[in-house]
Structure 1
Amino acid sequence: MLSQEMALLVEDAVLLPSGRIEVRVANPAELKLIARVLKGHFPLAFGALRSNADLPCYITATQCDIIDFHQLEDGSLSVVLEGHQRVKILSAAQQRDGSWIARTLACPNWRHEPIEGEFAIISAALEQFYQVNPDLLDLYSHIHLEDASWVSQRWLEVLPMYNRDKIMLADQPNCHKTMDFVLQLLKSHVDA
C-alpha cells in the first residue's frame, strides 16, 4: 500500500467513516490549511487531539471531505466534515504557520453488518438521541439505523468518553466490541 500526504486537522473530537461533524475554524493556520484543501493541494485527515505525545493526535485518524462551510458572525469559519476512510498516521510535521501535514496509510473500514437481536436497542437509542439533539441529526441527509457499523461509529463519536477509549474501540477489526460496550452501557443505565 502506498502512503499519502494529507493536511491534518486536529480537534478534541472523534470523526469516523460515514460520520459528520461541524467544527469552528478560527486559527489563521487552520484557515490556510482549509483553503489549501479546498484548492485541491491536499486531501484532509481529521485526528482526535492527544496531549503529551510526539504527534498532535492519535495515530488513527479519518480521511474526510469538506461538505459544507459558512462564515460565523465572529468572522471564523464553520466547516462540516464527512469521514470516509480510516487512516493511520505514519508521521506528521508542523509547518511554519502552525498547520500540520501528515503521511498516512489507508486502513480497512468496518464492513456493513445488519443489527440483529438485542442489539436493536442500540439503534433505537441512537434514534432517540438524535431526536433530542436535532443539530446533530441535521448534519445527515440519510441515517443508517439498520447498519451495526454505522450505528456503532456514531455512538463512539457522541459518547462522553476519553478520546483514547474511543480510539481503542475504533481500532478493533469490526464493530462487535463497540456494540457490546454500548449495549452494556444502555442496560446499566436502564437498571440504575
Structure 2
Amino acid sequence: MSIHPLLIETNHLLPGGVNTYIVSEAFYLDALPQAGEPPRLLVAMIDIDEISPQAPSTPRPSTISPIVTLCQVADFNRHDPQQIALTLQGIESVKVEAIERGERDIDLARHTPLPIWRRQTVPEPYHYLSDKLKQYYRSNPGLHDHFQLTQYDDIGWVCLRWLELLPIEVKQKQLLLSQPNALFVAEFIDKLLRYPLTDPE
C-alpha cells in the first residue's frame, strides 16, 4: 500500500491524460516533500455541484469516490505571486483505502493498485470515437500543450479521454472505470453519443 498527497478536482484526470491545475504555492511547497521521489500526487473526482459555495477552492475529502488517479508532475510554473500552475500526467487508477492528515494539514491517501485495461485496438464500429476525439483536440490545441503520447488506436486510451470530457456524474464514471475492459465503456459512450439523453420539456 502506498501513500500520496490528494487533490480533489472537478476537472477530471485519468490515466494517460494531462491537465493543469492552479494550486496555492503553500499547498505545492507543503505537498511536494510528502509526494515521494519522483513526486506523485493523487487526483480525485468531484462533481462541481458538490463544492461548498462557502469554500469553493478547498473541497475536503470527508467522503470521496474510491477510484482516483495516481499522477506524476509533468511541469509547473508560477501562475501569480501566490499560486502555481501544476501540470499532472495520469499514470494509473488506484483505490483509496484510507485518508489521513499529513504534515502541514496536507491530505494524504493510502491506496492500492487496480487492474489495468489490456491494450486493445479500436474496433471498427468505434473508429468514429477516435476520429471525433482527434478532431476535438485539434480544434482545442491549448488543452493539451504537453500532450505528446497520443494513442488514438487504443480503445482504452480513447475511452479514458472521453470520460474526462463528458459531463457524466462521478458515480457513473466510477462504475465505468471499474469495468474489466474498455469495450464495456466504449459501448456506453457510443450509446450516449448516438442517443443523448434530453430533459423532458
TM normalised by structure 2 equals 0.82
Whether the 8 Å CA contact 2:8–2:61 is kept in 1: the answer is no
C-alpha displacement of 1:20: 1.1
Q: Secondary structure at the match of 2:175?
A: helix
Question: 5+ unaligned residues in a row in structure 1: which ranges?
Answer: none
Matches within 5 A, 1:1-192: 3-26=1-24, 28-37=26-35, 40=37, 43-49=40-46, 55-95=62-102, 97-188=104-195
Whether the 8 Å CA contact 1:17–1:109 is kept in 2: the answer is no
Which amino acid in structure 1 is aligned with residue 130 of structure 2? S
Q: Could you tell me the percent identity over the aligned residues? A: 26
C-alpha displacement of 1:119: 0.4
1:34–1:162 distance in 2 versus 1, CA, 3 Å: farther
Q: Secondary structure at the match of 2:65?
A: strand
TM normalised by structure 1 equals 0.85
Matched residues, number: 186
Q: Deviations over 1:44-80 (max 9, x none)?
A: 2221137599745211111110010100135310111
User: How far apart are the structure 2 equivalents of 1:5 and 1:117?
Assistant: 40
Residue equivalent to 2:56: none
Whether the 8 Å CA contact 1:29–1:98 is kept in 2: the answer is no
User: How far apart are the structure 2 equivalents of 1:32 and 1:162?
Assistant: 31
User: How far apart are the structure 1 equivalents of 2:162 and 2:5?
Assistant: 26
User: How far apart are the structure 2 equivalents of 1:41 and 1:134?
Assistant: 28
Whether the 8 Å CA contact 1:25–1:31 is kept in 2: the answer is no
Whether the 8 Å CA contact 1:49–1:57 is kept in 2: the answer is yes
C-alpha displacement of 1:128: 1.3
Which amino acid in structure 2 is aligned with residue 6 of structure 1? H
User: How far apart are the structure 2 equivalents of 1:169 and 1:9?
Assistant: 21
Which amino acid in structure 2 is aligned with residue 184 of structure 1? K
C-alpha displacement of 1:160: 1.6
Q: Secondary structure at the match of 2:11?
A: coil
Q: Secondary structure at the match of 2:117?
A: coil
C-alpha displacement of 1:146: 0.5
Q: Secondary structure at the match of 2:80?
A: coil
RMSD over equivalenced CA pairs, Å: 2.4
Question: 5+ unaligned residues in a row in structure 2: which ranges?
Answer: 52-59, 197-201
Whether the 8 Å CA contact 1:19–1:154 is kept in 2: the answer is yes
Q: Deviations over 1:22-49 (max 9, x none)?
A: 1110273354113542x63963222113
1:30–1:12 distance in 2 versus 1, CA, 3 Å: farther
Whether the 8 Å CA contact 1:55–1:91 is kept in 2: the answer is no
User: How far apart are the structure 1 equivalents of 2:84 and 2:100?
Assistant: 24
1:111–1:41 distance in 2 versus 1, CA, 3 Å: closer
1:157–1:31 distance in 2 versus 1, CA, 3 Å: farther
User: How far apart are the structure 2 equivalents of 1:96 and 1:142?
Assistant: 35
